[in-house]
Every structure is written in structure tokens, then in C-alpha cells.
Amino acid sequence: MTESELRNRWQSMTGAGPAVSLQYVRHRMSALESQARRRNIAEYLGALMGYAILVWAFFSIEGAMLRTALVVIGVGATYSLFRWYRVANVRKLDEPAGIGDGLAAYRSELERQHAARHNNWRWYIAPSLPGTVLLLIGSFLISPQRIGALVLAASFASAWIGSIMWMNARSATRLQREIDALDSLRS
């Protein structure tokens, strides 16, 4: 057999693809559940700290506009928290009977987690923006000479929102890569 015949034969061979065991699928499903559970706990602890700050600020400041802004922020944060619970809560995955069922269940949960993070600013960040804007405007109206502090506060709020959006986009990208890797096993 000549070298070109060997090369042609080698290039025409089709591989069976990587072997994935049911134990590995169970391991990945468990890791996804643990990761989502940790993230949700961090979200809920952050919300508790945020609510504590809102309550403290509510009783520390004077002025109906500022207090109204804090209430609007709290209502928006509560909506976001309940939506997060509904969308990103960890579903206990059933024990897969076979590799196909296990991969399908794992992929489905990856898609849920991806959807919870992809473009979630509409329900995760946007509900608190009106209260934040009202708080900044109210602070300016009460004390216009502190414009520098308000610009700094607005910059901090923008950076915080940007970092949340960046982290969620990064997480969604990572989940999408995992989904794409699973899809490549089928082809």
C-alpha cells in the first residue's frame, strides 16, 4: 500500500466520537446543581444585605421623595428576587435511566440556566432603575451643591450594573459552550 493510499484511507475513517459514561453525566449534573445552588445562595444573601441597607437608609434620611425612591428600589429588587427564584432555581434532576436521557436532562437544565443569565437585565436590573434614578434626582434637588458626590454615586451605580451584566454574560457564554459541546456529541 502506497503512502497516498494510506493517507486517503486514514482521512476517510470516521471515529465513533468520545465515549461518555452515565457516571460522568451524573457528575456533571451534580456539579451544575451545586454551582446553581451556590449562586442562588449568594443572590439571596446579597438581597438580604441590600434590604438591610434600604431599611437603614429609609429611617436615616428625611424627605418623601428619597423615601419613595427607596421603596421603589425595594419593590423592584423584590420583583427581581422572585423572578430569579422562579427562573434560576435549581431543579432536582431525576436520576437518568440511560445515557441518552441523562444527556437530554443535563442539556435541558443547561438551557434553563443559560436563559436565566442571557439578557436578564430586563427583569434583573431594570426594575430597580426607576428608584435609583429617583433617588439621584431627589438627592440633587435636596442638595444641588453636592453634584460631585452624586456624579460619583451615579458612576458607582453604573459600574455596579455593568459588572453584573458582564458577569451574567460571561456565565451565559460558559453555559452556551457546554451546550455546544453536548450538541457536538450528537453529530
**Cβ burial 145-176 (10 Å sphere, 16+ → b, else e):** eeeeebeeeeeebeeebeeeeeebeebbeebe
Q: What is the pLDDT of residues 32-51, one digit of tens each?
A: 888 888 988 998 999 999 99
Q: How many domains does the chain have?
A: 1
Per the structure, the complete domain to which residue 130 belongs is given by: 20-186
Domain-located, residue 120: yes
Place of cell 486514514: 10
Domain-located, residue 116: yes
Q: What pLDDT score does 15 carry?
A: 55
E strand or H helix at 131: helix 129-142
Domain-located, residue 8: no
Q: What pLDDT score does 2 carry?
A: 63
Side chain identity at residue 182, one-letter code:
L
Domain-located, residue 148: yes
Q: What is the pLDDT of residues 129-158, one digit of tens each?
A: 999 999 999 999 988 898 898 899 899 989
CA–CA gap between residue 129 and residue 174 (Å, rounded): 27
Domain-located, residue 11: no
Q: Which of 99, 89, 86, 91 shows the shortest CA–CA distance to 30?
A: 91
Which residues, 6+ apart, have CB-to-CB distance to 80 below 8 Å? Answer: 123, 124, 125, 127, 128
DSSP 76-110: HHHHHHHHHHHHHPPP-PPPPSSHHHHHHHHHHHH
Place of cell 437518568: 96
Q: What pLDDT score does 103 carry?
A: 84
Domain-located, residue 2: no
Domain-located, residue 7: no
Q: What pLDDT score does 14 carry?
A: 55
Domain-located, residue 12: no
Of the ranges 1-10, 20-29, 75-84, 117-126, the best mean pLDDT one: 75-84
